[in-house]
Chains A and B, each alone.
Chain A
């Protein structure tokens, strides 16, 4: 690079000349500006009768035509979500496995149903679940919350809420007997004479869960243009997260930190599932019989062990991790991915997951130092939305504030 002569500093006249030239050009031509514009016609993708309360930069979730969002449905659903009477034996609410302080997960390895049956899978957090292209860990056919909500309410294997043909009338009567519900149901379904029915209960609960949206993490604020929103360590961790070396972003990228994301601005829907090499029983690629991923639905051998990438929002508070809750800390998760899979050396599930024949091509292992790991964890902590975790709008309405 050439240096200015003698002093090494720009001569004052030379420094001022370009600025003076720029100013003169600007003044002379100020009247010639103003024809550029960008017109957006988004087919009402950005309009809704429901107040989503999310920054304009983020797209709105899909609203099913058969269950459009309303504040009344949201509030009714909120009451039902926290109501243990909405179960066979009156002991289980949705909130039993989805606690707000834990990002609407439950902190258990796997959840426990109303009858004490231990489920095979870890309870996922419910933040921004409205943007999931599929619901649950491994069912490509469950694409809406309305389809998914019936599973915990009425499922028989495993039993969660335990509502069945023998007790459904009794459960419904409990709801009818609660005086607080009549005005809530009437407001949510004004066109119906007798709105306290299970389809409306389902629609209200799903409206509440769909409304659990927020984009107020330090990561979000950084992406929206605040360069100081992330600490230096989190910024370094972000660069690692989005690097080709670690490739985290391939499955956990996008504004919702998951590649299984759908919103109303999308035309092409991707519903991916991935085998990350957690198991490789006997070297056959197999996963435990009660948890084989979408293979259970598709029966395609290549789908063995494939699960949906969960959103990493609030991952700091949604431990333990993986579909079976087998990893208790983010340290353990990072070590697992750095190894390229998990090697189980003994027991009924023995096998080296690193060589699972159905493993995703993105899980190849990587080298990471302890300092880099801490930076990555710091970044993952920046995905915690404390506003969401403490928002009274999402909290238990049956407990006085």
Chain B
């Protein structure tokens, strides 16, 4: 472990940027496994207020702004246990910065079983879980080149989707280097953008194709490449959903309603297309590209204490990330963009559009450039710059971070 070969390090980067799901539900383990992770950062400038509001979209969940100063962004400890007959249990506790406060949250508490049937590998699991419809949803910050969650996931699913439910995964290997993964998840909906009202209030379906191979690279040497591409859909329904980031139940200031008074009832239909490609440009250099496009559509009604309006929304988000790595060094660039179209109708439409922060004329975007250094102990140092124009005001900040990821199998 002390002296990792360059090839091993390249593979480590490949693993970190490729699209294995965080918990390897289809890689059964025997006995205990402990995963630990933390990342902390310092931002030179505030990119937005603590209550990060992106005009044009109703937000919620666990999304908070990037403020000037230092903070512990994430910390988590996870336990997995697998038995001889392929039962497994998972537990993960995490802490996320909520502005100036920190909450301890149960991210995972589930039981499952791994099965094999003919050429199919099957996993069923129930409990509190992170949704697996996209690898982006389960990524810890320390597994990325950057220091903030995906803008698309911040805007559309409240950061990341964690809920109580059932899951079934089916994987089939089509060759030595290729496989299909199909999954379905049902949720009780007690997580943004859904709300819980008994029964199933959210579901998702997904399918991924994973393949790798070799090609004739520089100087005729065989170089590796890896592709993971997938399609997913998340459907949610909500009733009287409010932005949970505002703790009090009603507005305190000013002459008009504020977001604290706003409630949404309706459906979200969120579809994503994700493609991640990495390849060894040479024995020393790895390149990768990750693209994700998300369509967030839906309809419902927005209301405050006295007004009501119908809301139809068609949102589009796109994220493109490029990376280049060599040994322990990595440079990454990410551009994220949102197109937000909302139509409100009814006598209260104009005022509710204003009070619900749904007025948007410009497309929010964020761009980041970062350098990463991965130490052989598992520490990861990052330094980068981010320019953010998501809240109606363009700001830029230099930032640094340090993180660590480790896995132990006693």
Cβ-defined contact, B337 with A32, below 8 A: yes
For A5-19 the 0/1 string (1 means CB < 8 A from B) is 000001000100111
Q: Given A17-B398, A22-B387, is A266 in contact with B306 using a C-beta cutoff of 8 Å? A: yes
How far is it, in angstroms, between the C-alpha of A220 and the C-alpha of B255 when the chains are bound? 9
**B283 sits at the interface (CB 8 A):** no
Asked if residues B360 and A265 are in contact (CB atoms below 8 Å), the reply is no
Q: How far is the CA of A196 from the CA of B358 in the complex (A)?
A: 49
The answer on a CB contact under 8 Å between A38 and B307 is no
CB distance from A217 to the nearest CB of B (A): 10
- Tell me which residues across on chain B come within 8 A of A270, comparing CB atoms: 305-306
- Distance (Å) between the CB of B273 and the closest chain A CB? 18
Asked if A33 is an interface residue, CB under 8 A from chain B, the answer is: yes
Chain B residues lying within 8 Å of A242, measured Cβ to Cβ, are 252-254
The verdict on B348 contacting chain A, using a C-beta distance below 8 Å, is: yes
Contact (Cβ within 8 A) A25 B341: no
Mask of A244-287 contacts with B, CB within 8 angstroms, 1/0: 10000100011101000000111111100000000000000000
Contact A14 B398 (CB under 8 A): yes
Complex partner residue of B308 from A36, A244, A253, A267, CB under 8 angstroms: A267
Q: Are A223 and B350 closer than 8 Å at their CB atoms? A: no
Task: Mark each residue of chain B from 330 to 351: 1 if its CB lies under 8 Å from any CB of chain A, else 0.
Answer: 0000010111111111111111
Question: From residue B102, how far is it (CB to closest CB) to chain A in Å?
Answer: 17
By a CB distance below 8 angstroms, the chain A residues around B397 are 18
Across the interface, which residues of B come within 8 angstroms of A254, CB to CB?
A: 255-256
Give the CA-CA distance A57 to B351 in the complex, in Å.
Answer: 8
B339 touches A21 (CB 8 A): no
Complex CA distance for A22 and B385, rounded to whole angstroms: 9
Q: What B residues does A37 contact at CB under 8 A?
A: 341-342, 360-361
Partner of B387, one of A25, A35, A243, A244: A25
Q: Answer whether residue B168 sits at the interface, using C-beta atoms and an 8 A cutoff.
A: no
Q: How far does the alpha carbon of A37 sit from the alpha carbon of B397 in the complex, in Å?
A: 28
| Beta-carbon contact of B369 and A36 below 8 Å | no
Contact B256 A39 (CB under 8 A): no
A135 to B346, CA, bound (A): 26
Within A83-103, which residues are at the interface with B (CB < 8 Å)? none
Per the bound structure, the CA–CA distance linking A249 and B257 in Å amounts to 12
A38 touches B344 (CB 8 A): yes
Q: Which of B69, B305, B339, B386 contacts A36 (CB 8 A)?
A: B339
Within the assembled complex, what's the spacing in Å between the Cα atoms of A21 and B254?
37
With most chain B CB atoms within 10 A of its CB, the pick from A36, A41, A266 is: A36
- Closest A residue to B340 by beta carbon equals A36
Check B340–A42 contact: CB distance below 8 A: no
Residue B56 at the A interface, CB < 8 A? yes
Q: Which residue of A18, A40, A249 contacts B344 across the interface (Cβ within 8 Å)?
A: A40
Asked if B45 lies at the interface with its beta carbon under 8 angstroms from chain A, I say yes
CB distance from A45 to the nearest CB of B (A): 4
Q: Tell me if A2 and B350 are in contact (CB < 8 A).
A: no
| A43 interface contact, C-beta 8 A | yes
What's the least CB distance linking A130 to chain B, in Å?
16
Chain B hits for A1, CB < 8 A? 68-70
Contact with A along B247-290 (1 / 0, CB 8 A): 00000111110000000000000000000000000000000000
Shortest CB-to-CB span from A39 to chain B, Å, is: 4
Q: Are B335 and A267 in contact (CB under 8 A)?
A: no
Tell whether, in the assembled complex, residue A267 and residue B307 are in contact, meaning their CB atoms are under 8 Å apart: yes
Chain A residue nearest to B396 in the complex (CB)? A18
Determine which residue in A18, A257, A266 has the highest number of CB atoms from chain B within 10 A of its CB, and name it: A18
Establish whether residues B387 and A268, one from each chain, have CB atoms under 8 Å apart when the complex forms: no
Given A39-B343, A41-B344, A223-B256, the answer on whether A18 and B385 have CB atoms closer than 8 Å is: yes
Min CB–CB distance B342 → chain A (angstroms): 5
Assuming the contacts A42-B349, A254-B256, A255-B256, asked whether A36 and B341 have C-beta atoms less than 8 A apart, the reply is yes
Interchain CB contact under 8 A, B349 and A35? no
Query: Does B173 interact with chain A (Cβ within 8 Å)?
Result: no
Q: How many angstroms between the C-alpha atoms of A20 and B33 in the bound complex? A: 45
Known: A29-B335, A37-B360. A18 touches B308 (CB 8 A): no
The reply to whether A42 and B347 contact each other, CB–CB distance below 8 Å, is: yes
- Chain B residue at smallest Cβ distance from A238: B253
Closest to A18 in B: B396
CB-CB under 8 A from A19, the residues of chain B are 396
Measured CB to CB, the closest approach of chain B to A284, in angstroms, equals 33
Write out the residue numbers on chain A whose beta carbons fall within 8 Å of the beta carbon of B316: 35
Beta-carbon contact of A243 and B252 below 8 Å = yes
The interface residues of chain B lying within 8 Å CB-to-CB of A265 are 307, 347-351
Whether A46 is near chain B, meaning CB under 8 Å from some CB there, is yes
- Closest chain-B Cβ to A151's Cβ sits at a distance in Å of 27
Q: Which residues of A sit under 8 angstroms from B131, Cβ to Cβ?
A: none
Most chain A CB atoms below 10 A, which of B316, B340, B350? B350
Q: A60 vs B363: C-alpha distance in the bound complex, in angstroms?
A: 31
Q: Which of B46-81 contact A (CB under 8 A)?
A: 56, 68-70
The answer to whether the Cβ of A357 comes within 8 Å of any Cβ in the partner chain is no
User: What is the bound-complex CA distance between A294 and B93, given in angstroms?
Assistant: 56
A11 to B255 CA separation, bound complex (whole angstroms):
44
The 8 A CB mask of B295-337 against A (1 = contact, 0 = none) is 0000000010111100000001000000000000000000101
Which residues of chain B are within 8 angstroms of A321 by Cβ–Cβ distance? none
A57: nearest chain-B partner, CB-CB: B354
* Closest A residue by C-beta to B364: A36
Within 8 A of B (CB), among A211-231: 219-220, 223
Interface status of B359 (Cβ within 8 A of chain A)? yes
In the assembled complex, which residues on chain A have CB atoms less than 8 Å from the CB atom of B254?
Answer: 223, 242
Q: B: which residues have CB within 8 A of A?
A: 42, 44-45, 56, 68-70, 252-256, 303, 305-308, 316, 335, 337-351, 353-354, 358-365, 367, 369, 385-387, 394, 396-398
- Contacts A29-B337, A254-B255 supplied; 11 other A-B pairs, CB < 8 Å: A38-B341, A39-B342, A40-B345, A42-B345, A42-B346, A42-B347, A220-B255, A243-B252, A255-B256, A267-B348, A268-B308
Residues of A that sit less than 8 Å from B by CB: 1-2, 10, 14, 17-19, 21-22, 25-26, 29, 32-43, 45-46, 57, 59, 219-220, 223, 239, 242-244, 249, 253-255, 257, 264-270
**Top 6 nearest A-B pairs by Cβ distance?**
A18-B396, A35-B339, A22-B387, A45-B347, A41-B345, A267-B308
26 contacting pairs across A/B (C-beta < 8 A): A1-B69, A10-B44, A14-B398, A21-B369, A21-B385, A21-B387, A21-B396, A25-B387, A33-B365, A35-B363, A36-B340, A36-B341, A37-B342, A38-B344, A38-B358, A43-B347, A43-B349, A57-B354, A223-B255, A242-B253, A242-B254, A265-B351, A266-B348, A267-B308, A267-B348, A268-B307
